[in-house]
Amino acid sequence: MTRRARRNHTAAFKAKVALAALKGEKTLAELAQFFDVHPNQITDWRGRLLEGAAGVFGSEGARTAESAVDVKTLHAKIGELTLENDFLEGALSKAGLLSAKR
């Protein structure tokens, strides 16, 4: 028996299989044979779909406020690192250890 190469399924394919499993018109074995995937994989995709379904109807305002805080924090960190790099570049060039400019 030869081993099959590892396959990567698209998100659309996973959603299609998971929705077919949720409909319940066919058994897991029938779906597995039809879509050529393992029944455990279908069960996993169906569970992930059910877990993430609430996020589809969630509010966008909460995500926007949360991401705005992250962007502010990241910009502050970028500024801090830029200052450190400039300071170290100046100190190394004065000491003669930094001969070539990047």
d(CA 17, CA 74): 38
61 or 52, which is more confident: 52
Residues contacting residue 35 through CB under 8 Å, at least 6 positions apart: 13, 17, 20, 42
pLDDT of residue 3: 86
Q: What is the mean pLDDT of residues 63-88?
A: 84
pLDDT exceeds 60 at position 15: yes
Rounded to two decimals, the pTM is 0.54
Q: What is the mean pLDDT of residues 43-70?
A: 77
